[in-house]
Amino acid sequence: MKVFLALLVGVAIGAAALWYFYGHHGDNQLPAAANSVENAAKSARDSIEDKMRNLRLGTNDIKDELARRGKVVREKAREAGQAIAAAAPDVEITAKIKAKLVADRDLSALSISVNTTDGLVTLSGQVSQPEDVGKAIALALDVDGVKQVTSTLQVKPPGGSQ
């Protein structure tokens, strides 16, 4: 949509330029102005066609993708790369916390879920005693990159209710 809007704006600018040169400078400058506008429009059209080709936005590409997925999705490569790079530290934080939970004999890494977003860690699940909540929070806070830990851990003694 933006591509076609840009093309439309280009045509409008070209038309305005033709009107300006034709109305204010006489007939002798019209051919030069027309050539200039035509060259600019051709350059813009070529640029748009290249982008559409690179993004696989041709008619057949769109039809194939709609048939396979029911939608067409494209992202700017740089933004997608930044999102992946931003998520990498969170994955690393989660993995380090899970490793610490596995290494601790009092805590069950299988009963505690760890979710990290922008360095904010959420612990959820179950522990067997209240002290284990504090221990899990302390383990998480000891990992580099953790900014905050929120616990929704529930105390459920093994084999019974509270």
Domain ranges, ordered by start, for the chain: 2-74, 86-155
Task: Tell me the pLDDT band of 73, cut-offs 50, 70 and 90.
Answer: confident
Which residue has better confidence, 94 or 2?
A: 94
The confidence score (pLDDT) of residue 120 equals 92
Q: In percent, how much of the chain has pLDDT > 70?
A: 66
Q: How is the chain split among helix, strand and coil, in percent rounded to 5?
A: 65, 10, 25
71 burial (CB, 10 Å; 0-12 / 13-18 / 19+) is: exposed
Q: What are the tens digits of pLDDT across the range 83-97?
A: 666 667 889 999 999
Architecture of domain 86-155: 2-Layer Sandwich (3.30)
User: At a CB cut-off of 8 Å and minimum separation 6, what does 124 contact?
Assistant: 112, 113, 115, 151, 152, 153
Q: Which tokens in the block code for residue 87?
A: 């998520």
Kindly report the pTM of this predicted structure: 0.49
Find out whether 48 and 7 touch, Cβ atoms under 8 Å: yes
